[in-house]
Chain A
Amino acid sequence: MNKVTTSILIVFLLIIGWIFYLTNIKQDSSLTVRYYSISELASELNDIQKVKVGGYIKPNSIEVSENDQLEVSFFVYQNDDSVKVYYYGIRPDLFKDDAEVVVSGSYNNNLISATELQTKCASRYEGDLKNIEKI
């Protein structure tokens, strides 16, 4: 075998190995998190170490602690199901009733202790026109 063929073979094997490694990322919990739907969590009795959930903030459910503005709890809902979330830290500017959020953290006793709270970036205003007059 000449040098060129050997090199090509080595490169080829490396790529195969790489692809094999990539397909296994699901097992690596430091890299990936499973997305749960809220209805799934609502019926889940066991604790889960890492969850990621998307939904909307239930209107009037946001409770900011009297002592510390950074401490907040609220409900995230989707359709008819909802789950309580506890979060400590800076909240995104768009955090308010009915805002779409993605929360990740751990799930214990029907409560998500969130380590990460993101609102959908409203890079655009979509939605109804506000200053209108019906005729």
Chain B
Amino acid sequence: MISQIGSVAISLAGGLIFSSFFFLGLYKYFNNKSYLLVAERAVLSTCYSLFLAFFCLLNELLVSNFNLQYVAQYTSYETPTFFKVTALWAGQAGSLLFWSFITALFTVAYIFTTLKKMKNLKFHSYLILAFIFSFFILLTNFIANPFEPVSSDIIVQNGNGLNPLLQNFFMAIHPPILYVGFTGSAIIFVMALAASISKDISFEWVQSIRRWSLFVWTFLSAGIILGGYWAYNELGWGGYWAWDPVENSSLMPWLTLTAFIHSSMIQEKRGMLKKWNFLLATSTYILVILGTFITRSGIISSVHSFTAENLGPMFFTFLALLVLYTIFWFIKRKSYLDTDDKIDSFTSREGGFLYNNLILILMCFTIMWGTLFPILSEAWDGNKIYVGASYFNQLNIPIGLVLLFLMGIGPLLSWNYTSKSVLLSRFKTPMISSFFTGLIYIIFSGLFQLYVFVAIMGVAFTLTSILGEFYKSYRKQKRSSNFFKSLLEMFLSNRHKNGGYIVHIGIVLLFIGFIGRAFEVEKEFSLSPGEQIYFSNYIFKLNSINSEARDNHYAFLSDIDVIDNNNELLTNLKPEKRIYFYWNSDPEKRQPHSELDIYSTIQKDIYSIFSAYDAKKNIGYFKIMINPLVNWVWIGGILMVIGSLFAFWPSRRVI
């Protein structure tokens, strides 16, 4: 019954969204305000129908209604309730409905907050939103319908269940957080277009779109970091980023959005760069759709599999329409977006932001080139070329290092113009700190690595510069004698700026984590119980291998002592080899899974994988990696999110 309601709800959403086009047309034709109101209600009702459909699917997953293909495919009676909920976005059909659901949430928020204040944007906002909705609703109704029943000649006794790899808390929450970022960029897209088309770019609009951007950025960043965290802790290849097309497609919009957040500040302060900002704001959503197209069409082979249903051509058409629409209005509104004001000097805050923009766009372009190169090359001469991680590392590391320094230089520049003497006095401390850190590296490092050297200097430079800024505003602000109280006051005095600096510190910490990658070592070996092996200043001693039948899998448990140089027990690692569905008589259906064990400290992680077990000879096969500084990536990521929440959280004064 509930599933029928859900099915009706998505059809209803389809009808409603098409009726909104009709009423928007009537409004344009008769210029009668009441039609616009009807269109608004049609869009809102579409959103409500999508909410209904979403909760129907949720209900069916929770009650395990295996008459639905989707429910039977992604859950089983044994699936824990939490993962029944997360099955909402485990498959194609569900994730598309989920996508529409979040877009609907954003749309309702957008209509009731932003559009309440900026009434002139209504018409074009509804038009573009209706277009976006109709695409996703079309997919949900006709191509990937989550309410599709199983074929009528079978009875499903139990569902397939969720892949054990996905039964991980971080994997469960990573897609929705990322989706919030992805779909949220639609609002930025709509706002940028609507304001330019209706020639209504106001100061209020700039502030509002900036708030939306920060919100979206927070989720995008958190989603990307969580994805890395999951990969590191669950997948067992010892890394968190592999330059896979799927990862790249989440990074590209992040880069353009980051650029937009910076350059829109210039528009806010001086009304400049409108054209550039228009392009950044719109391309963010376009890149999101490009990424979705790449990952769901199967056009680029990636280890992340989304089996290609006929989504490729659909997404491509949608993408092309978005691009054409954007370009059309960009050309038409070019003169409106022109500004007379020019940047006076390149040693100014504006100049700094421009360099930052340039670097971010260069990075985005480089990544896009590498991601799309296989397709381009195949179209060019028929040769399919695979672009490896080495391409992305080789090209992005230098760009990233420039960015690292820029983050330290930016805060030292004043708006409009910075004189040479001021510049010199401000650069002094960061330069000195950077110089000495570099010197220490040269003295104490056995092996000189250029990138590590430059990165360490960059980290020192930027940290000193930002902390210096904090210190300066602390001294200016200081009123009470209580250190913590005045520190808190300082942070709260300019949340926008301070939040931004906290994000930057987070990114510097990320870089510290990245530096660690240069020192990673790994070893694969086999051991029998009682044997030990020496590797990278540690002794790894295998005590025993036991086995145990558990609820939904069978596990081989290893027990490894890690002994350090002083012959003291550092830790005990227990990586497991699990076989899910081990009771299945068909060996095909059994699924092995390596459960990692990681000894994690602030300096380094000892990462252990139990990769195979030879029961006859009682030999275990292991892989150990020593990954320095990985924790800094997560700490930096958390700081980024905290900083950006701090920056955009509405203050009491505003309300």
A residues with a Cβ closer than 8 A to B are 3-4, 7, 11, 15, 18, 22, 25-26, 30-35, 52, 54, 68-70, 89-91, 93-94, 96-98, 100, 102, 104, 118-127, 129-135
B377→A26 contact, CB < 8 A:
yes
A118–B633 alpha-carbon span in the complex (Å) = 25
Question: Chain A: which residue is nearest B351 at the CB level?
Answer: A7
- Say whether A90 contacts B72, CB under 8 Å: no
Report if B358 contacts A (CB, 8 A).
yes
B159 in contact (CB, < 8 A): yes
Give Cα distance in the complex from A118 to B237, angstroms.
11
Q: How far is the CA of A127 from the CA of B388 in the complex (A)?
A: 30
Which residues in B have their C-beta under 8 angstroms from that of A11?
358
CB within 8 A of A131: which of B157, B163, B305, B621?
B157
Min Cβ gap B539→A in Å is: 21
A-B contact pairs, 12 of them (CB 8 A): A7-B346, A25-B387, A26-B385, A31-B391, A33-B388, A93-B591, A93-B592, A97-B588, A121-B304, A129-B72, A131-B157, A133-B157
Minimum Cβ distance to chain B for residue A48 (Å): 13
Q: Which residues of A contact B653 (CB under 8 A)?
A: none
Q: For B301, give the chain A residue with the smallest CB separation.
A: A54
* Given A35-B386, A122-B163, A123-B163, A15:B362 Cβ within 8 A: yes
Across the interface, do B387 and A126 meet the contact criterion of CB distance under 8 Å?
no
List A contacts of B166 (CB < 8 A).
123-124
Shortest Cβ gap from B129 to chain A (Å): 29
A126 partner, pick from B73, B159, B369, B614, beta carbons under 8 A? B73
**Quick one: which of A31, A70, A122, A124 contacts B612, CB cutoff 8 A?**
A70
- A68–B303 alpha-carbon span in the complex (Å): 27
Decide if B524 is an interface residue (CB 8 Å cutoff): yes
B609 at the interface (CB under 8 A from A): yes
Q: Across the interface, do A69 and B594 meet the contact criterion of CB distance under 8 Å? A: no
The 7 closest A-B pairs by CB, nearest first: A35-B384, A31-B391, A90-B611, A131-B158, A121-B303, A131-B157, A132-B154
> Which residues of B are found within 8 Å of A90, using beta-carbon distances?
524, 609, 611-612, 621, 623
CB distance from B155 to the nearest CB of A (A): 5
Whether the pair A135, B526 counts as a contact (CB closer than 8 A) is no
Say yes or no for B307: interface residue by CB 8 A criterion: yes
Q: Which of A31, A68, A94, A132 contacts B526 (CB 8 A)?
A: A68
B343 at interface by CB-CB < 8 Å: yes
Question: Which residues of A lie under 8 Å from residue B136 when comparing CB positions?
Answer: none
Q: Does B63 contact A (CB under 8 A)?
A: no
- A contact residues around B165 at 8 Å (CB): 121-123
**Inter-subunit contact A31/B362 (CB<8 Å):** no
Is B202's CB within 8 Å of the partner chain A?
no
Q: Which of B561-606 contact A (CB under 8 A)?
A: 587-589, 591-594
CA distance A30 to B393 in the complex (A): 12
Cβ–Cβ contact B385 & A131, under 8 A: no
Q: Is the CB of A129 within 8 A of B150?
A: yes
B374 beta carbon closer than 8 Å to chain A: yes
**B interface size (C-beta, 8 A):** 69
Kindly provide the distance from the CB of B297 to the nearest chain A CB, expressed in whole angstroms. 15
**Chain B interface helix/strand/loop/mixed:** mixed
A57 to chain B, nearest CB (A): 11
Contacts of B612 in A (CB 8 A): 69-70, 90-91
Task: List the B side residues contacting A100 at CB < 8 Å.
Answer: 305
Say how far A85's CB is from chain B's closest CB, in angstroms.
Answer: 17
Q: Taking the complex as formed, is B366 at the interface, i.e. its CB lies under 8 A from any CB of chain A? A: yes
Residue ID in chain A nearest B373 by CB atoms: A25
**Inter-chain contacts of B621 with A (CB < 8 A):** 69-70, 90
Query: What chain B residues lie within 8 Å of A31 (beta carbons)?
Result: 387-388, 390-391, 394
Interface residue from B358, B386, B619 paired with A33 (Cβ < 8 Å): B386
Are A69 and B391 in contact, with the CB atoms below 8 A?
no
CA distance A118 to B155 in the complex (A): 36
Closest chain-A Cβ to B299's Cβ sits at a distance in Å of 13
Please, which residue of chain B has its CB at the minimum distance from the CB of A35?
Answer: B384
Within 8 A of A (CB), among B69-86: 69, 72-74, 76
Which of the residues B156, B235, B301, B387 comes within 8 Å of A129, measured between beta carbons?
A: B156
Q: How far is the CA of A132 from the CA of B385 in the complex (A)?
A: 43
A97 to chain B, nearest CB (A): 7
B383 sits at the interface (CB 8 A): yes
- CB pair B386 A125 closer than 8 Å: no
Chain B stretch 223-272: residues in CB contact (< 8 A) with chain A = 235-236
Interchain CA distance A124-B166 in the complex, whole Å: 8
B273-317: which have CB < 8 Å to A? 301, 303-307
Q: How far is the CA of A3 from the CA of B160 in the complex (A)?
A: 66
* Distance of A2 Cα from B462 Cα, bound (Å): 30
The contact of A4 among B69, B76, B346, B614, by CB within 8 Å, is B346
Q: Which residues of A contact B614 (CB under 8 A)?
A: 69
B551 interface contact, C-beta 8 A? no
A75 to chain B, nearest CB (A): 17
Pairwise interchain contact B391-A133, C-beta atoms closer than 8 A: no
A100 to B304, CA, bound (A): 12
Q: Is the CB of A32 within 8 A of B388?
A: yes
**Which residue of chain B lies nearest to A31 when distances are taken between CB atoms in the complex?**
B391
Residue of A nearest to B166 (CB): A123
CB contacts under 8 Å to A, within B386-414, are 386-388, 390-391, 394-395
* Smallest beta-carbon distance A13→chain B, Å: 13
Q: Which residues of A contact B158 (CB under 8 A)?
A: 130-131
B367: min CB distance to chain A, Å: 11
**Contact indicator A131/B156 (Cβ below 8 Å):** yes
Point out the residues of chain A lying under 8 angstroms from B157, CB to CB: 131-133
Residue numbers in A under 8 Å from B342 (CB-CB) = 4
List 11 additional A-B contacts (Cβ < 8 Å) besides A34-B385, A129-B154, A134-B154: A11-B358, A22-B395, A25-B373, A31-B391, A70-B611, A89-B524, A91-B612, A122-B163, A122-B305, A125-B74, A132-B154
Give the chain B neighbours of A3 by CB distance below 8 A. 345-346
Separation in Å of the A7 CB from the closest CB of chain B?
5
B304 touches A123 (CB 8 A): yes
Measured CA separation A93–B306 after assembly (Å) = 19
Q: How far is the CA of A24 from the CA of B565 in the complex (A)?
A: 48
A15 to B594 alpha-carbon distance, docked (Å): 45
User: B500 an interface residue at 8 Å Cβ cutoff?
Assistant: no
The residue of chain B having its C-beta at the shortest distance from the C-beta of A95 within the complex is B592
B394 cross-chain contacts in A, Cβ below 8 A: 31
C-alpha gap A127/B161 in the complex (Å): 12
A93 surroundings in chain B (CB, below 8 A): 236, 591-594
A100's closest neighbor in chain B, by CB? Answer: B305
Q: Which residues of A contact B588 (CB under 8 A)?
A: 96-98
Within 8 A of A (CB), among B352-381: 358, 362, 366, 369-370, 373-374, 377
A122-B305, A129-B154 known; A32-B391 Cβ under 8 A: yes
Residues of A within 8 A of B76 (CB): 131
- Given the interface contacts A69-B526, A124-B91, does A132 sit within 8 Å of B593 by beta carbon? no
| Closest chain A residue, CB of each to CB of B617 | A69
The answer to the question of B162 belonging to the interface, with a C-beta cut-off of 8 Å to chain A, is yes
